[in-house]
Structures are given as structure tokens and as C-alpha cells.
Amino acid sequence: MEELLKVGSKMPDFDTIDQHGNKVNSKALLGKPAVIYFYPKDDTPGCTVEACEFRDNISQFKDKGVNVFGVSVDDQASHKRFEEKFNLNFPLLVDKEKKISEKFGVLGERSAKRTTFIVDDKGIVVYVMPKVSPKGHTSEVMEHLKELKLVK
């Protein structure tokens, strides 16, 4: 297993799709700060709390020019069901082959470990939040974005 990506590291290259089948690659994330949060499984209690908090606060991130991406090892159909059930309003990236989770160093035995990365507009990891608690996570992320002066 890869080591957890550290602050100062370049975001690893990856190519995948989101819940709608849209192609997403790491290069497309450049130009704006991004929050990339890994979570274990679609439609499980903690993951639902975390996703719904991002959903409810997404305008705060978008208004400040920050993109949010959820990533798990679930497939596209699972992501689509999860999005529809909870009206999620941001991309859920498919990591069925577990390569993205592995490159970021968050791959557990069967799934991604709940970990959030803040990446600047140049693709450099500027903050890592391992062992995330789902409740209250989005406000924590926003505080770090402000502290890092990535947003006002």
C-alpha cells in the first residue's frame, strides 16, 4: 500500500468517470482549489452524513471557486443511486479499480479510508485530514481553506 500523500506533494495523475459517466482527470482539476474527499461506501450512515453536509454547503464552496469531489471504490451505478437518493450536487468519482485511493495512500482492506485532501489551483496538496469525523466536516474544511488563504 502507498503511503498517505503528504502536504507539498503533487496530486497524483488519474483518469476516471463520475456518477454521470463524465470523464474526469487530475489535470481537469487544476486552475481552482479542490477538496477531494475519500469515503468508504455509498449510502452508509457516516458517508451519507458527510455527503449531505457537502450537499447542503456546496454553494459556500462554489461561491469561493472551490471544487468538491467525493471518491469511493463504488461503481458508477452505485454513485448514481447515492446521488439520486440524497440529491447530491457535486461529482462522485469512480475508483472501482482502487487506483486513485492507492495513489493517495488511503486504500484500506476493502475500501478507501475516510480522508480529505485540500489541493491548490496548481495541484499541490496543501492540507491532509486523515481520520475524518463526518459530522461537522464541511465547516472544518472551510476553516482550513480560509487559514490557507485559498478563500476569503
* Residues labelled as active-site residues: 47
Burial class (CB in 10 A: 0-12, 13-18, 19+), 3: exposed
Beta-carbon contacts of residue 97 (< 8 Å; ≥ 6 apart): none
Question: Which residue intervals of the chain are DSSP H helices?
Answer: 45-63, 76-86, 99-104, 137-147
Which DSSP state fits 62? H
Q: Which residues of 96-117 are buried (b: 16+ CB within 10 A; e: fewer)?
A: eeeebbebbbbbeeebbbbbbb
